[in-house]
Structure formats: C-alpha cells, structure tokens
Chain A
Amino acid sequence: MAVIDLANPTRFLTLVDRVLPWLAGVTALVFAYGLYRVLGAPDDYQQGATVKIMFLHVPAAWLGMMGWGVMTVAALGTLVWRHPLADVAGKTAAPIGAAFTFICLVTGSLWGRPTWGTYWVWDARLTSVLVLFLLYLGMLALYWAAEDPNRSARAAAILALVGAVNIPIIKFSVEWWNTLHQPASIMRAGGAAIDASILIPLLIMALAFTLLFFTLHFAAMRNEILRRRVRSMRIMQARSA
C-alpha cells in the first residue's frame, strides 16, 4: 500500500483499526520487559536508586524532540503535497510531544533535587528544553485560536517549519551558557559512556516509549478524523435544518 492510498481517511481508519490493537499489545509487552530489566539494573555507585529516573527522563527527552520532528514532516506534507492527513498528523503530534517534553522537565527536576541539590538551574540543556516546551505551547495556542481546521492547518505548518529552523539556533545559543547538565553520553564519538547493564534497559525503555508515542499518535489521529467528521456532519445538519 502506497502512502498516497492513505490519503483516503476511510482507508486510513480501517488500517488503524487493524494495526492499533497489535501496536498497543507490542507496546505493553516491550514495556513489561523493559520494566523487568530496569528493576534488575544495578544502582549507580554515586547516585543510588535515583538513577532509575533516567529510564523515564531520557526517553521522554528524545520523544519530546521527535514530536517536533513529526510535526515538521507533517508540515511539509501539508504545504508541499497537500496531503489531507498531514495536518491531522501534525495537529495530533503537538499535544503528545508537549506532554513528553513536560515529563522530561518534571522528571529532570525531580532527579536534579537529590543529585545536584536543586530543582532547577538555568543551564543550557534545561533552558533549551524549556524553550521547546514554550514553542509547543505556542503551537497549541495557535490551534486553539482557529475555528476552522483548514485555516489553522497551513498556519500551524508554517510555524512548525519556522520552529524547526529555530530550535537548533536556540539550542546552540543557550549552549553558550555555562553548563551543569552532562553532555551527550550515548550518541557520541567513541561509543556510549554508559555501562551495558544500564544502557540496554535504557534502550529497551526508549523503544517502549517510542512505540507508546506512535500508539497514542495513531489513536489521536483516528479521533481527530472522527471529530472532524462529526463537525462537518453538524454543519450539514444545521444547514439543512
């Protein structure tokens, strides 16, 4: 089945109905295995049991950024190919990405209290994630402000692209500040700096959270399509009444 076949929302809905239970099941299984591995992972010699927060914090940070990536691809789909489902995908990715970014901020804050001795510092990484969260909130505000979903679609797509250009700039600009958060320790030259006993559960949890992201995203897309159908039915009903 080609991507263009999915342009038909009805066909997309039947596909989602078929795939979603399996996706949800696989997500639950990977989560169960990941949590089992997390409970079996050793405590950090310095941080003790608080290192377990990482298994929630790091995947949430990755997915918060991936959410904007999904929105950027969807924005191209809206503006370039006028794909009818692209706006649905972008609109529904925004709250999910915002939620993961929020989880990242909250867990990071709770992790920072025992290890750094403070809930919040104005450090480069924390600040850039906070700005990402603010951009998500702006995007949600844009969707709330528009009455007609077709009108908000293009505007949101342009904002998503502008944000995609700006996020690296914001990231590098705040990197100028003196920084407390550790630098990247998994995707770096020379291999990961984490022991395998912690790295492997982390990667499994990251996979589980990514599957969760897509499960939620597909479900939200289905709901959005149905919501728009209800809206147009109401308009037709009002017109004929």
Chain B
Amino acid sequence: MSPFLALLARDMRLAVRVGGGALMGALFYFIVVAMMPFAIGPDLNLLARIGPAILWLGALLASLLALDRLFATDHDDGSLDLLMMGAMPLELAVAAKAIAHWLTTAVPLIVITPVLGLMLNIDMSAMGWVALTLLAGTPALTFIGLIGAALAVALRRGGLLLAVLVLPLTIPVLIFGVAAANAAIVGPAPFGPPFTILCALSLASLVLGPVAAAAALRQGLE
C-alpha cells in the first residue's frame, strides 16, 4: 500500500473509532438545522425559501467544528513530527489527511441532507441537486479550513482563532453554493454557472490548500 493510501486509511480508522469525531459533524449539522425552525418559526413556505441557505450554513459550521482535530491530536502525540520528517512530501501527507477528514465528516453530512431537506419543505425533485451542490462545495470548505488548521496548530492556538481566520475565506463558496441550490429549487437562474464555479473553487483549493498548509506547518513547527 502506498504511503498516501496508508495515511488515508489510518486517519479514517482513527476517525470512526472511539474518540474520533466522524459522526459528530453530521450530528451537529442535524441539530443546527433542526434548531432553525425554532428561531424562525414553523412557516413551511418561509422554510422552503430559505432552506438552501440553512443547509449551507449548517454544513459550513459543521465543517469548522471538526477542523480543530485535523492536526492537533497528531501534534500532541508526535506523529505530526514523523510525517514532517518522512519521505512522503508534506503536501501529499496533508492532502491525505484532508481527504480522510472530508470522507469522514462531510460525506455523512451530505448523506443526511435529503432527510433534513424534507423537514425544511424543500421540493423532493430538487433535493438531489441540493445534495450535489454540497458534494461539490464541501471539499473547498475542508481544504480552505486545512490552511487555518495548520496555522492554528503552528501557533498552538485552536478553537476560535481558527473560525475567525477561516470563515471570511469561505464566503465565495457559500455564495455560489447557495446560488446553485436556489437555482435548482426555484430557478429562474440556470443551475450550471454557479455550480461550475463551485466546482472550480473546490479544485483550486484542492491544489492551493495543501501547499499553503504544508508551508504553514514547516514554518511554524521547525
């Protein structure tokens, strides 16, 4: 097995076992979305109109929640130092960790999205498209958050600093994600342009995120 796949499998195993945070993100997402009608009121028409925004905000907050753990535990037990000294390029190692993180936190969240959409009175025929926007957009959230996680661990500060650094950078993802989801549900704007830009943001952050995060780790922990 290549080192990349080995690291990916290790991180996924750690996430699903006791103490890992695999389903915590999806649970948090579920609770945040379920809280919204208590704040806004149970008006189904209103919920249907702002449903995509609620789902996207919930996904954004849930992806922030688990970012803290991306490097912090590895830094505490020393395995991050091993990764930095290992033969595999640090960029690749960081990318493997981020992909494992996405698979264990974002994918469960996307899987439960149709159920939550049902509760928010989103049209069933459009629900697949809304889930698709999350599928296309959440990698960008993970890989932008990766940079923030690396900076936070290099400074030995997590938590709120991470949110303050990462949230402004995710605004484009939120804009195009909600725009694509709204286009799928109510139209009349076409679904294609915002969705392709969303994919472009994910692909760009897939390239830039590991490079910047590896640089932050190298500079911060040398």
Contact = CB atoms under 8 A, between A and B. Distances in A.
Decide whether A and B are members of one complex: yes
Interface of A: 79, 131, 134-135, 137-138, 141-142, 145-146, 151-152, 154-155, 157-159, 161-163, 165-166, 169-170, 173-174, 176
B212 A161 contact: yes
Nearest to B219: A154
A224 to B, nearest CB: 19
Interface in B119-162: 147, 151, 154-155, 157, 161
B195 interface: no
A152 B215 CA distance: 13
Contact of A145 (B155, B179, B215, B220): B155
Chain A binding surface SS class? helix
A137 B164 CA distance: 8
Given A142-B161, A155-B151, A159-B151, 5 more contacts: A79-B219, A151-B154, A158-B219, A163-B169, A173-B172
A38 to B, nearest CB: 34
B14 interface: no
Interface of B: 147, 151, 154-155, 157, 161, 164-165, 167-169, 171-172, 175-176, 179, 197, 201, 208, 212, 215-216, 219-220
B154 A166 contact: no
A138 B175 contact: no
Contacts of B161: 141-142, 145
Contact of A142 (B151, B175, B215): B151
B171 A142 contact: no
A220 B154 CA distance: 26
A74 B172 CA distance: 26
9 contacts: A141-B164, A142-B165, A155-B151, A155-B154, A155-B220, A158-B215, A158-B219, A159-B147, A174-B175
Nearest to A165: B208
Contact of B175 (A154, A158, A161, A173): A173
A176 B154 CA distance: 36
A176 B169 contact: no
Contact of A158 (B151, B169, B176): B151
Contact of A131 (B155, B171, B201): B171
Given A141-B165, A155-B219, A169 B151 contact: no
B164 A152 contact: no
Contacts of B215: 79, 158
Nearest to A173: B172
A154 B169 contact: no
Contact of A166 (B151, B169, B179, B219): B169
B149 to A, nearest CB: 12
